[in-house]
Structure 1
Amino acid sequence: MSKSSYSWPAMLAGVLSVSSRVVSDHSRHFLALSVLFLLPLSFIIIASPSLLPILMHHHQFLPPQSLLRDAPLSSTSPDFTRTLILASAAAALFLPIASAGAAAVTRSVIDGFYGRPVKILPNLRSLHIPVLHLLATVLSGFLIFSAIVALIVSLCLLLLFILSILDVESGSVPPYSFAAGIAAITIARFQLEWCLAGVVSVMESTWGFAPLKRSGELIDGMRLAAICLWVVFGAGIGFTLWGLGLWEIPSGGSWYDVMPVVGKTVLGSALTSLLLLYIIVTHAALYLYCKAVHGELLGEIVEEFASEYVTLPFDDNRVPHVVSVVLR
């Protein structure tokens, strides 16, 4: 049976079914991982729309004598430097936590799929190597993205230079808008091809550019399913942020005025962490389905349960119904 004969809606339904089954079978384990890793990230995401304007428009307290000078001091450079430092610090804090959470959840999904014991302490103790592999893979993808953006910017500048030589007004041709559109389409395309790179780097002990290539090979035939997952969960996070932004909170100093802020943050963080959890879980399940589509999963299941009863993976209390879907 060729890969084109598989129905991607049926595959997508299978991915969602496997994801729901794994999470429900080990709900306390995934709840603990969400509290450890995903809830802090969700809090940062929810609080960033309120914190960013304060941080970006921060002005230093000037001494009284500086206010008497004729030439006012420019605050553009300190604000830009402060923003750059804060962004770098946030990235340095965000990436390790996000990578650790993604690696822990991914390994738990795979263990739950094969019916292995899902325990949090052994998972956390052996997490350093997968996190390093995942960070190296993210850095490799970032380097490629940076090279693409730099190439597009260079072409845009070259186009502006040619237009200036030909005495053509740049307003008649929007090179920046055209370049931004090309960059967005290209990056979205690569993001689709590399959506399984994180799972590959965690589960196959590879890092750098190899997981990116491997992801492009696995996702062949399941791209529409991957797009649907990104649209659903991305829209969920976007609507959560948008809905909480429309929630007007009164300003004041009493506890009654602070409680809506606390409720808004807790509710938004919980919803966002749940969506982030299912993004990671569904991509781990999508990785398994992609391996099944390419004929790689059945051999692993046979090897995994070679010394046990052959029908164990298809027990009703187990997760691996993917083979029955793929080989149907």
Structure 2
Amino acid sequence: MTPKKSLWNFISESQLILKAHARHFHILSLIFLYPLSLSLLLFPTISNLFDYFFTQNSPSLLPPQTINPIFLLYSLFLLVSSNCGIITIIYSVFHFSHDEPVNLLSAIKSISTSFLPLLATSIVSQLIFFFISFFYGLLLILLIHGAKLFHLTLLPHSSPFIIGFLIALPMIVVQTYLEVNWILASVIVVVESCWGIKPLRRSAKLIKGMKGVALSCIFLYGFLGLIVIWNLLYLTRGQDGFTESWFAAGLKWVLILLFCYTQTIVMLAKIAVTTVLYIYCKANNVEIVEEFGKEYVSLPFHDDGKVSQVV
């Protein structure tokens, strides 16, 4: 069994892989992850333009209460781009870590075999969380009506914000618990070619003993992503291209593009760390020994940062 490692060890080892094949991961990020980051910023503008040109000027084009087709296209784009990015990066990190040759073509080809299984697994995980939320909502309704029936006051003299937070807190805890247990599911789908409930159960099994690292990973990259998004919202708040000078508008857009690229790097790093964590968890469960007939000592890196075989 391998010695316990901290999140920083996984970050360092994943960065060795990313730096050793920087061009490969840079191209994959620009193809799949950067447009994803940029779309989060551009969607409100595109949606507003669609409403202005097609609904206000020509209200007969869309019937009332019709779902905005731009929103549907945007959701489809998010789904395809995010899943393709996850698949290609996981595939590349895993095979590079075992010193197996990978090129852009082989990485992109992996999408054809893993996209539908990953989509199915995501749907299963969302359905599980939906039913948990549904039953929690029913329980909450029964609790409120029961309190009214017996003339009880829940959380007297509390502000609506505190009440809302206390109501949402159990679901936040449940969601965090599920994310920690299922953090390896996407890697398992790509590497082990399984889907549905199986990768979720397998992830929960492999991550035992490493849940602290998984929780730290979720909080760290979630916090970094939140900072980037907050700065993007700050830059775009009150933006008016007609009243700003060309220099101020140009500088603002340069900063926006840089922040979008930073968000891309954060997403890339999280996927890479998760993949390295999966490799470690497999070794910790003595599965590398069973598969390769070799003794696992450490993640496959030389001191000079080059990737080597698992030994």
Question: Do Structure 1 and Structure 2 share a fold, with TM-score over 0.5?
Answer: yes
Q: Aligned runs of 1:57-136 on 2, under 5 Å?
A: 60-61=55-56, 82=67, 87-136=71-120
Residues 169-222 of structure 1 show CA distances to partners (whole Å, capped at 9, x for unaligned) of 456388754431111111111111001000001110100000000000011111
Structure 1 residue 209 and structure 2 residue 191: aligned?
no
Q: Please point out which of 289, 298, 307 is paired with 1:319.
A: 307
Match of 2:267 in 1: 276
CA distance in 2, matches of 1:119, 1:53: 37
CA drift at 1:276: 0.6
Q: Please point out which of 20, 28, 51 is paired with 1:33.
A: 28
Cα 1:140–1:104 shift into 2, 3 Å = same
Q: Please point out which of 4, 7, 17 is paired with 1:7.
A: 4
Same amino acid, percent of matched pairs? 28
Match of 1:166 in 2: 150
CA drift at 1:318: 3.9
Q: AA paired with 2:103?
A: K
Residues 66-101 of structure 1 show CA distances to partners (whole Å, capped at 9, x for unaligned) of xxxxxxxxxxx95x7546x65544332211211111
Given that 1:195 and 1:215 are in contact with CA atoms closer than 8 Å, whether structure 2 keeps it comes out as yes
Larger mean Cα displacement after TM superposition, 123-132 or 273-282: 123-132
Cα 1:258–1:82 shift into 2, 3 Å = farther
Structure 1 residue ranges without an equivalent (≥5): 64-76, 305-312, 324-328
Match of 1:16 in 2: 11
CA distance in 1, matches of 2:70, 2:135: 27
Q: Aligned runs of 1:277-292 on 2, under 5 Å?
A: 277-292=268-283
Structure 2 residue ranges without an equivalent (≥5): none
Radius of gyration: which is bigger? Answer: 1
Match of 1:187 in 2: 175
Match of 2:129 in 1: 145
Q: Secondary structure at the match of 1:126?
A: helix
Larger mean Cα displacement after TM superposition, 87-96 or 168-177: 168-177
Q: Please point out which of 196, 199, 203 is paired with 2:187.
A: 199
Q: Secondary structure at the match of 1:127?
A: helix
Given that 1:43 and 1:269 are in contact with CA atoms closer than 8 Å, whether structure 2 keeps it comes out as yes
CA distance in 1, matches of 2:33, 2:82: 7
Match of 1:240 in 2: 228
Larger mean Cα displacement after TM superposition, 108-117 or 234-243: 234-243
Match of 2:210 in 1: 222
- Using the size of structure 1 for normalisation, the TM-score is 0.79
Q: Please point out which of 282, 287, 295 is paired with 1:296.
A: 287
Match of 2:40 in 1: 45
Cα 1:272–1:18 shift into 2, 3 Å = same
Cα 1:168–1:314 shift into 2, 3 Å = closer
CA distance in 2, matches of 1:255, 1:249: 16
**How many residues are paired up?**
296
Q: AA paired with 1:203?
A: V
Q: Secondary structure at the match of 1:285?
A: helix
Given that 2:288 and 2:294 are in contact with CA atoms closer than 8 Å, whether structure 1 keeps it comes out as no
Residues 1-44 of structure 1 show CA distances to partners (whole Å, capped at 9, x for unaligned) of 5x8xx4342xx333122211111111111011001100011112
CA distance in 2, matches of 1:96, 1:62: 32
Q: Secondary structure at the match of 1:216?
A: helix
CA drift at 1:127: 1.7
